Amino acid sequence: MDVTLSPYQNTSVLETTSFPSSDVKIFQQKSYLLNVRKHRAHASGIRCSIAEHGLHPKPKPKPLKTGGYEVVKKEPDFKGSSSGLCGQIEKLVLCKRYRDALETFEILEIECQYDVIVGKSTYDALVDACISLRSIRGVKRVFSYMVNSGFEPDLYLRNRMLLMHVKCGMMIDARMLFDEMPERNLVSWNTIISGLVDSGDYMDAFRLFLIMWEEQSEASSRTFATMMRASAGLETIFPGQQLHACAIKMDVSQDIFVSCALIDMYSKCGSIEDAQCVFDVMPEKTTVGWNTIIAGYALHGYSEEALDLYYEMQDSGVRMDHFTFSMIVRICTRLASLEHAKQAHAGLVRHGFGLDIVANTALVDFYSKWGRIEDARHVFEKMPLKNVISWNALIAGYGNHGRGIEALELFNRMISERMTPNHVTFLAVLSACSYSGLSDQGWEIFETMGADFKVKPRAMHYACMIELLGREGLLDEAFALIRDAPFKPTVNMWAALLTACRVHKNLELGKFAAEKIYGMEPEKLSNYVVLLNIYNSCGKREEAASVFHTLKKKGLRMLPACTWIDVKKQQHMFISGDKSKPQVQIIRNLKKLMSEIANHGYVPKKNSLLPDVDEREEQMSLYHSEKLAVSYGLINTTNSTPLHLVQSHRICDDCHLAVKLMTKVTGRVIVVRDASRFHRFEDGKCSCGDYW
């Protein structure tokens, strides 16, 4: 069967299902929103209908930040020698030369002590400089100068000082400043609340909001936009709904910022339907609005729909920005869609975002995940600015391609370029060592990362080391690492051990690991299958029957194994065991291929010891979805085209061997993303080093 992918189909198995679609819940939310809309229509009848016809007045343009930095008349710097320094600072800030501005301030500070009275407009400029540079040192110096020189700030300047602390993440000082303010206005409240949200203290944000609501009984659209972010952070829909209702009562729900924040809140709290409703009634669909709803669909695993929305956005004539392209590249990464990604890459450059760090990092990730590590490298080297995420993406790319030496070289280059590695960097480096069998280097890094780089090994780093040991067949050592870990072993650690047991055929320890995993994630289908297969392999019929019984009782259903392949910009899905008529040509070609690879040493492998997918029929392996997909891809593309497959399950031993040899006889590159990792097959070899 060769189906063009229809909406939702590709998401059922592959994507996360963290948002169970409880019909009742959605129904309630929809009716809630319906009421909300009625309420709004009632509250502002005429405006509403104007809005729905797209005639809603545009929001006022933001006033430009230029001007307003004139020297304060009554308080110029009065010691002759330093006069002009303040004016200089203000001018430097206007030219965005923030570092120079702070340096000039330092001169003023050291040479004139507190004799120079710095005016309000200069402080204002210094606040901008500190915020732009995120300079904690700068904040402390500017603030202490103000206090020590006896300058008495007014409410405006106090708010600016508060903002300066908030934006630099100095929330303890900001809280003190806020508490000590002789008077506060709405701006003060909004500023401190947005700081709390930025630092992830969503509950505190709500507490302060409630105090503000009761004490001042006021709030603006800005307050709601910020509070929606707090609700989104809580990932619970109820508070957000309450705020939505308040926003409607205050007649700010149509505000462009509030609308976007609402879309984001609803999608992050699990209701893409409500997010869509808010998007539908947005008076003016801005770039950010589109971006937010696209991000929402992507978050829920509806990658196809997200891509459709992106093309709709394109047609609507709205300007696309670096946010848009970054997201689209990431969506393409999940869809394995080289064509769409290439177009997005072109669009990115055409629209003038070719230097954007986030979008380029997404591209590095895309190219390296889809077997084009040289392209990833090219994008990376052309980036004028790189951050730790960019480095991590490329290092992980080399690791996944089984090119550990290059990954280590990059890591060293990163250190020499004074980029600080983080825990993700070490994950990439350690797994690169593991994939390439660089066990000495891996151990050295694992043992020194805490002391040398202040990154304590976490569970995932342990899992990497367990895999490293597992590859070498050192199962007892791997088990010891789990037992002696300074924290409770995680599922990932046991899973790494289980993989090692599967590859090295250690049933006893494998059974132990599988039981542990089963105990920790009793709702996950694949764990039942693994356990079931292991019991069957051990001949433990009774245990197997009991697992099967529990599975039935919980209503979990075995899903068929699926593979998707991109051919000529279309995605096609194949299901294991499908023998329907349109397959005839695919099967014929497959049989021909199988006999060809037999000449290169192919011997069918028996069912692997612990497959992820239930296999009841012995001779079914010819009909495995990955073989069907490869056969289809080979028939329908030209000789040099690489094939890209995504599949719901871990590739089996037999398919892995078969695909390896197929790349040898056909000269193709075949890239497979399976449930556990990435395989790049070329010339009879696989990047995973035959361990997965």
Partner DNA sequence: CTAGGGTTAG
Which of 326, 431, 527, 625 contacts DNA by CB under 7 A?
326
- Does residue 123 interact with DNA by CB under 7 A? no
Which of 26, 181, 250, 389 contacts DNA by CB under 7 A?
389
Nearer to DNA, 117 or 634 (CB): 117
Q: Which string of x and - marks every residue 334-373 that binds DNA (by CB under 7 A)?
A: ----------------------xxxx-xx--x--------
Half-sphere exposure of 160 (CA within 13 A, CB side): 19
Report the DSSP beta bridge partners of residue 564. 573, 646
What is the DSSP secondary-structure string of 65-79? S-S--PPPSS----S
Q: Is 601 left (phi over 0), alpha (psi -120 to 50) or beta?
A: left
Length, in residues, of the chain: 692
> For DNA, which stretch binds (CB under 7 A), given 318-326, 454-462, 485-493, 673-681?
318-326
Contact 319, 350 (CB under 8 A): no
Distance between CA atoms of 92 and 618, rounded to whole angstroms?
Answer: 76
Which of 132, 149, 220, 589 contacts DNA by CB under 7 A?
220
| SS3 state at 100 | helix
Minimum distance from residue 408 beta carbon to DNA (Å): 17
Minimum distance from residue 431 beta carbon to DNA (Å): 11
Half-sphere exposure of 611 (CA within 13 A, CB side): 19
Distance between CA atoms of 651 and 611, rounded to whole angstroms?
Answer: 8
Nearer to DNA, 114 or 257 (CB): 257
Of residues 27-66, which lie at the interface with DNA (CB under 7 A)? Answer: 59, 62-63, 65
Which of 388, 460, 474, 594 contacts DNA by CB under 7 A?
388
- Does residue 330 interact with DNA by CB under 7 A? yes
Sequence-ordered alpha helix ranges (H) in 300-403 = 303-316, 322-335, 338-350, 357-369, 373-382, 388-400
Of residues 60-99, which lie at the interface with DNA (CB under 7 A)? Answer: 62-63, 65, 68
- Give the number of other CB atoms < 10 A from CB of residue 598: 12
Contact 357, 325 (CB under 8 A): no
Q: Which helix (H) or strand (E) holds 574?
A: strand 570-575
Nearer to DNA, 112 or 357 (CB): 357
Which of 226, 431, 506, 621 contacts DNA by CB under 7 A?
226
Supply the DSSP symbol for 54.
Answer: T
Instruction: Quote the tokens at residue 315.
Output: 């047609």
Minimum distance from residue 514 beta carbon to DNA (Å): 28
Contact 357, 390 (CB under 8 A): yes
> For DNA, which stretch binds (CB under 7 A), given 149-157, 408-416, 603-611, 617-625?
149-157
Nearer to DNA, 387 or 570 (CB): 387
Nearer to DNA, 77 or 255 (CB): 255
Minimum distance from residue 357 beta carbon to DNA (Å): 5
Q: Which string of x and - marks every residue 463-492 that binds DNA (by CB under 7 A)?
A: ------------------------------
Q: Which string of x and - marks every residue 275-314 that binds DNA (by CB under 7 A)?
A: -----------xxxx-xx--x-------------------
Minimum distance from residue 444 beta carbon to DNA (Å): 21
- Does residue 333 interact with DNA by CB under 7 A? yes
Minimum distance from residue 189 beta carbon to DNA (Å): 7
- Does residue 126 interact with DNA by CB under 7 A? no
Counting residues that bind DNA (by CB under 7 A) gives: 69
Instruction: Quote the tokens at residue 318.
Output: 């709205």
- Does residue 156 interact with DNA by CB under 7 A? yes
Radius of gyration of the chain (CA): 30
- Does residue 260 interact with DNA by CB under 7 A? yes
Which of 52, 106, 111, 154 contacts DNA by CB under 7 A?
154
Supply the DSSP symbol for 225.
Answer: H
- Does residue 257 interact with DNA by CB under 7 A? yes
- Does residue 248 interact with DNA by CB under 7 A? no
Residue 518 Cα distances to 69, 513, 524, angstroms: 65, 9, 8
- Does residue 5 interact with DNA by CB under 7 A? no
- Does residue 14 interact with DNA by CB under 7 A? no
Place of tokens 């300074």: 486
Place of tokens 């079931």: 532
CA 274 to chain centre: 22
Contact 337, 567 (CB under 8 A): no
Half-sphere exposure of 390 (CA within 13 A, CB side): 23
* Percentages of the chain per state (helix, strand, coil), in multiples of 5: 65, 5, 30
- Does residue 232 interact with DNA by CB under 7 A? yes
Residues that bind DNA (CB under 7 A): 59, 62-63, 65, 68, 124, 154-156, 159-160, 163, 185-188, 190-191, 194, 197, 220-226, 228-229, 232, 252, 255-258, 260-261, 264, 286-289, 291-292, 295, 321-323, 326-327, 330, 333, 356-359, 361-362, 365, 387-390, 392-393, 396, 422, 424-425
